[in-house]
Amino acid sequence: MSERYVSVALDVPLPRVFDYRLPDAWQVAVGQRVIVPFGRQVLSGIALALGDTAPDVATVRDVLDAPGDMPPLPGDVLDLCRFCADYYAYPLGAVLAAALPGAFRQPRPWPGHEEAGAYVAPDVARLLATISARAAKQRALAELLTQPRRVDAIRAVAGDAMRWLRDWQAVGLVERTRAPAVATEVAPSASPELNAEQRAAVMAVTEARGFQPLLLFGITGSGKTEVYLQAIEAVRRRGEQALVLVPEINLTPQLEARFRARFPGEHIVSLHSGLADGERVRHWLEAGDGRAGIVLGTRLAVFAPLPGLGLIVVDEEHDASYRQAEGFRYSARDAAVYRARLRDVPVLLGSATPALESWKNARDGRYRLLRLTQRAVSGARPPRMELVPTQRMRLTDGFSDAALGALRDTLASGGQALVFVNRRGYSPVLSCQDCGWMSSCRHCSARLVLHLGERKLRCHHCGHEERVPHACPDCGNHDLKPVGHGTQRVEAALEALFPDANLLRIDRDSTRRKGALGEMLRRVHAGEADLLIGTQMLAKGHDFPGLALVVVLNADGGLFSADFRAEERLFAQLLQVSGRAGRAGREGRVLIQTHYPEHPFYGALLAGDYAAFADTQLQERRALALPPFSAWAILRGEAKQLQPALAFLRETKALLAGGAVHVADPVPAALARKAGWERAHVVLSATGRAPLQAALRYLAQTLAETPPRGVRWALDVDPQEF
DNA sequence: AGCACGCCGACT
DNA sequence: GTCGGCGTGCTC
């Protein structure tokens, strides 16, 4: 018998696989997890190919273990990972590692393995014959094992049940088996009546045959979730699985509760990074054996094994959280579309402010556009948006008189109000009145934010903290003044202005503690807070039925940004914040303070016409050949000094000279210094995907083979921020 | 990425 | 005299 070999993808930053010898008679499948020696370490990897020709290398080592804790990755997950590795020019082993629960990246069998399986006695009569007639509990357990039973059911019989089970298993009287599928009774609670647009949308999804992306474009409150629910209901009636992606981990509990209420008896699992290791593995396995009918999760869930996949839903598809910002920089929304193609199923992308990429696809007819133009909740009206011009106005702690008046009226009439501030902390910078000194981070090219409560200056980019100086470090003057308004300063000002109001500040600082956000949202719903101060984390997904007024301080930040996507993001953000107001019958009011009331941006925003705004933006992007009319990638380089980083980028630019890809000149990054590293980048662009792809492959290969000295580099394909 | 081996500064 | 700094070299 000839030797057998296996190619293994490992989580190392090398764009190649490694071959190992398979010990005799071992059964290993493609997609299976194997434990292998690697240098002086032991690693977990994924078997990609099996063969009987010896690899052409000096030494071939043996596979150490092929634990059965993880069923082999199904073909479509492998293909999706291969696609991502290629598209994002990232090593396949690292992509596969990101696709797996952490426990399956460890080079040892998952300790909870025993727990997850089910057990059955193939011959109960034979088993009973070995048990004493007086051992009633043991006999009861044996009877139970006529069918596969999970560990929890077995434990329920007796405290010693697992020990008996192991004894029986050792002599072959009991076998470990696949967990039984839970009979899913799809008995949804009454579905609300849909309006005509919603019905049409649900129909479009349920009638879609094979791969079909659908863009569900609906304003806040137009009932997108109801469309998802009814489309999923249809999928479940066919016995297929639904995958639902949400942008943020904060939104999963809320959505999960709504799904559970709607589909009682349905097995719903969530997948996100907040789960404990064991739970994550359990949910992943339940998705993979088809037991979970609905899988709800953040971006990492797009890689979950789903044998019966029938529909993918991507909620708030424009949201930046779908992109991983570090390491393997992928877009889960794009991966979801590709996966739907692989599986030949529909994919439903929902948003009130679709990404321009998706909008263009819909305009080009590649995606089917489904519009929801009406608020689905009866009697609900869109909020009234007003601009408050502030260019020549005296402000009180950042507030115009109009905004303060509106807050006073709202509180007096018993309504809730939200003040939206785009920065946390007390003030974004501390400054010397005398010499102009400003608090800045010694590791980053960024200002240190004043956090008055903790008496700290803190860098929001690297986490560096220092004590607030009593005097100016440059000139010794004692007149240090906070400049600008963060959430804490706004909170302090409102406390003074509205002493009787119940204030609640909701930002990353006040919700750092586990469960804090949930508790705060509960208080808002219970009416225990009537004046909310929040950053954009409040804008997403949470319903505040009592909210009558939203005040937006300082909206202009995104209007004159060097980043061509800033306006698109600002529109989405402002529309999303205003969508929080007036959801339960009464008309909400939104006040936006701006220095530039004449800017065309605000015209489109006030008209609430995202379609018109998006079309205009697309025209501009077309004229300037910006994405989505061209394909972009960024090569980032960082070093201890700026010069080597720039030199590296110049050399790389020379490497690509003369090709179909345009390489811009190296420039320092917007945040040129971060955590002590000088950062720079070059933009690579091409009119088509294919030439960019080829250049990236060549770059990644070359840089991996001959890594630059002293320079860390990363490729960012379809970059979202600069 | 790890984890080694490999040559130069301040410490028991 | 050595403990340890991080440069560079390799991993089937």
Q: How far is the CA of A710 from the C1' of B9 (A)?
A: 22
Judged by C1' against the alpha carbon of A55, the nearest nucleotide is C12
Inter-axis angle of helices A642-655 and A689-705, nearest 10: 120
pLDDT at A267: 95
Q: What is the DSSP letter of A469?
A: P
The DSSP code for A331 is: B
Of all nucleotides, the one whose C1′ comes closest to residue A19's CA is: C12
Q: Which CATH class is domain A196-372?
A: alpha beta
pLDDT tens, position by position, A479-516: 899 988 899 999 999 999 999 999 999 998 888 888 88
Q: Which residues contact A80 (CB under 8 A, 6 or more apart)?
A: A99, A302, A303, A335, A338, A339, A342
Most confident of A46-60, A72-86, A115-129: A72-86
The reply to whether the CB atom of residue A13 sits less than 7 A from any atom in nucleic acid chain B is yes
- Strands across the sheet containing A41-51: A33-38, A41-51, A4-10, A18-22, A61-62
Predicted confidence (pLDDT) at residue A417 exceeds the cutoff of 90:
yes
- Structurally, at CATH architecture level, domain A384-423+485-617 sits in 3-Layer(aba) Sandwich (3.40)
Containing A353, the helix (H) or strand (E) segment is none
Asked whether residue A701's C-beta has any atom of DNA/RNA strand B within 7 A, the reply is no
Q: Is residue A137 predicted with pLDDT exceeding 60?
A: yes
| Distance in Å, residue A55 CA to nucleotide B5 C1' | 28
For residue A107, what pLDDT band results from cuts at 50, 70 and 90? very high
Distance set, CA A206 to CA A174, A306, A361, A641, A675 (Å): 44, 19, 21, 57, 50
**Both structure tokens of A23:** 């010990």
CATH pick for A631-717 out of 3.40.50.720, 3.30.70.20, 3.30.70.360, 3.30.465.10: 3.30.70.360
Question: CA A243, A576, A359, A330 torsion: positive or negative?
Answer: negative
Question: Residue A526's pLDDT is what?
Answer: 87
Q: Which nucleotide is nearest to A704 (CA to C1')?
A: B1
Query: Does the pLDDT at position A377 exceed 70?
Result: no
Closest-lying nucleotide for A18 based on CA to C1':
C12
Token duo for residue A114: 């025993």
Write the pLDDT tens digit of every residue in A529-570: 999 999 988 877 677 888 899 999 988 877 888 789 999 999
Residue recorded with tokens 């003044």 = A481
Could you give the CA distance from residue A494 to residue A411 in angstroms, rounded to a whole number? 12
Question: From the CA of A562, how many Å to the C1' of B10?
Answer: 49
Do residues A433 and A483 make contact, with C-beta atoms less than 8 angstroms apart? Answer: no
* Res A616: pLDDT: 96
- pTM, full prediction: 0.90
What is the percent of chain A with per-residue pLDDT over 90, rounded to a whole number?
61
Look at residue A72 and tell me whether its pLDDT is greater than 70: yes
What are phi and psi for residue A400, nearest 5 degrees?
-80, 160
Does the CB of A14 sit below 7 A from strand B?
A: yes
> Is A455's CB less than 7 Å from nucleic acid strand B?
no
**Strand C positions within 7 A of protein Cβ atoms:** 7-8, 10-12
Q: CA A443, C1' C5: Å apart?
A: 22
Helices (H), A47-117: 75-87, 92-99, 113-116
Task: Check the annotation: does A84 bind a ligand.
Answer: no
In total, chain A counts a number of residues equal to 722
What radius of gyration, in Å, describes the C-alpha atoms of chain A? 29
| C-beta within 7 A of nucleic chain B, residues 26-65 of A | 39-41
Instruction: Identify the pLDDT of residue A180.
Output: 55
Residues 660-719 of A with CB under 7 A from strand C: 709-710
Above 60 in pLDDT, residue A270? yes
Question: Could you tell me if A105 and A125 are in contact, meaning their C-beta atoms sit under 8 angstroms apart?
Answer: no
Amino acid making up residue A284: W
Amino acid A326 CA to nucleotide C5 C1' distance, rounded Å: 29
Summarised one tens digit per residue, pLDDT across range A180-231 is: 555 455 555 677 889 999 999 999 999 998 999 999 999 888 899 999 999 9
Q: A176, exposed or middle or buried, with CB in 10 Å at 0-12, 13-18, 19+?
A: middle
* Residue A432 annotated as part of some ligand binding site: yes
Beta strand A294-297 with A268-271 is parallel
The two three-digit tokens of residue A195, written as one number = 């309006």
CATH class of A4-105: alpha beta
For the residues of A143-203, what is the DSSP string, one character each? HHTTS-EEHHHHHTT-TTHHHHHHHHHHTTSSEEEPPPPPP----PPPPPPP-HHHHHHHH
> CA A453, CA A445: separation in Å to the nearest integer?
24
Helices A224-237 + A251-262 axis angle, to 10 = 50
CA–C1' gap, A278 and C1, in angstroms: 52
pLDDT given at position A80: 98
A462: annotated binding-site residue?
yes
Residue with tokens 């089970």: A165
A25: confidence class by pLDDT, cuts 50, 70, 90: confident
pLDDT at residue A279 is higher than 80: yes
Query: For A435-503, what is the HEC assignment?
Result: CCCECECCCCCCECEEECCCCEEECCCCCCEEECCCCCCCCCCCCEEEECCCHHHHHHHHHHHCCCCCE
- CA pair distance A119, A150, nearest whole angstrom: 6
**A460 C-beta neighbours (distance < 10 Å), count:** 17
Q: What is the mean predicted confidence (pLDDT) over A654-668?
A: 92
A81 is in an annotated binding site: no
A12 touches strand C (CB under 7 A): yes
Whole-number Å distance between alpha carbons of A520 and A523: 5
Distance CA A343, CA A331 (A): 18
b/e map of A87-114 (b: 16 or more CB within 10 Å)?
Answer: bbbbbbbbbbbbbbbebbebbebbebbb
Nucleotide nearest A13 (Cα, C1'): B1
What is the spatial distance between Cα A440 and Cα A196, in angstroms, rounded to a whole number? 56
Could you tell me the distance in Å between the CA of residue A401 and the C1' of nucleotide B7? 70
Token duo for residue A605 = 């925003």
C1'-nearest nucleotide to the CA of A707: C8
Quote the pLDDT of residue A517: 85
- The backbone torsions φ and ψ at residue A571, rounded to the nearest 5 degrees and listed phi first, read -60, -50
Closest CA to A44 of A110, A88, A90: A110
Q: Which of A329, A389, A381, A337 is nearest to A555 (CA)?
A: A389
Question: Which residue, chain included where needed, has tokens 């210094």?
Answer: A673
Which nucleotide is at minimal CA–C1' distance from A56?
C12
Task: Say how far apart CA A85 and CA A192 lie, in whole Å.
Answer: 43
Is A12's CB less than 7 Å from nucleic acid strand B?
yes
A459 is in an annotated binding site: yes
Mean pLDDT of A249-269: 89
Could you tell me the residue ranges of all domains in chain A?
A: 4-105, 118-177, 196-372, 384-423+485-617, 631-717
Two domains, one topology: A196-372 and A384-423+485-617: yes
pLDDT bin (cut points 50, 70, 90) of residue A179 is low
Which nucleotide lies nearest residue A16, CA to C1'? C12
In angstroms, how far is B8 C1' from A39 CA?
Answer: 28
Q: What is the side-by-side strand order in the sheet with A294-297?
A: A268-271, A294-297, A241-245, A309-314, A346-351, A212-218, A368-372
Give, rounded to a whole angstrom, the gap between the first and last alpha carbons of chain A. 57
- Strand B contacts in A 241-280 (CB under 7 A): none
Query: Could you give phi then psi for residue A230, rounded to 5 degrees?
Result: -75, -30
CA→C1' distance for A635 and B9 (Å): 37
| Strand B nucleotides within 7 Å of a protein CB | 1-4
Report which of residues A36 and A156 the model is more confident about: A36
User: Could you tell me whether strands A667-674 and A677-686 are parallel, antiparallel, or unpaired per DSSP bridges?
Assistant: antiparallel
Greater pLDDT, A522 or A182:
A522
**Strand C contacted by A228 CB (< 7 A):** no
Tokens representing A3 are 């030797």
Q: Indicate if the alpha-carbon torsion angle A102, A108, A111, A113 is positive or negative.
A: positive
Q: Among all chains, which residue has been given the structure tokens 């990232």?
A: A90
| Residue A547 DSSP SS3 | strand
Q: Omega before A628 cis (within 30°)?
A: yes
φ and ψ at residue A304, rounded to 5 degrees: -65, 140
pLDDT of residue A150: 81
Instruction: Give the H/E segment covering residue A520.
Output: helix A516-525
Is A159 near strand B, with its CB below 7 A from some atom of it? no
**A18 beta carbon to strand C: under 7 Å:** yes
Question: Tokens representing A65?
Answer: 């273990």
DSSP state of A303: G
Distance from chain centroid for Cα A414 = 36
Please name the residue whose C-alpha is nearest to the C1' of nucleotide C11: A39
Q: Is the CB of A365 under 7 A from strand B?
A: no
Amino acid at A199: R
> What digits encode the pLDDT tens for the residues A578-608?
887 765 567 789 999 999 999 989 999 998 8
Residue type at position A375: R
* Contact between A462 and A443 (Cβ < 8 Å): yes
- Return mean pLDDT, chain A: 90
Check pLDDT > 90 for residue A91: yes
Structure-token pair, residue A670? 């917007």
pLDDT, tens digit, for every residue of A346-360? 999 999 999 999 999
Better pLDDT: A676 or A456: A456
CA→C1' distance for A288 and C11 (Å)? 32
Q: Straight-line distance from CA A64 to C1' B4, in Å? A: 22
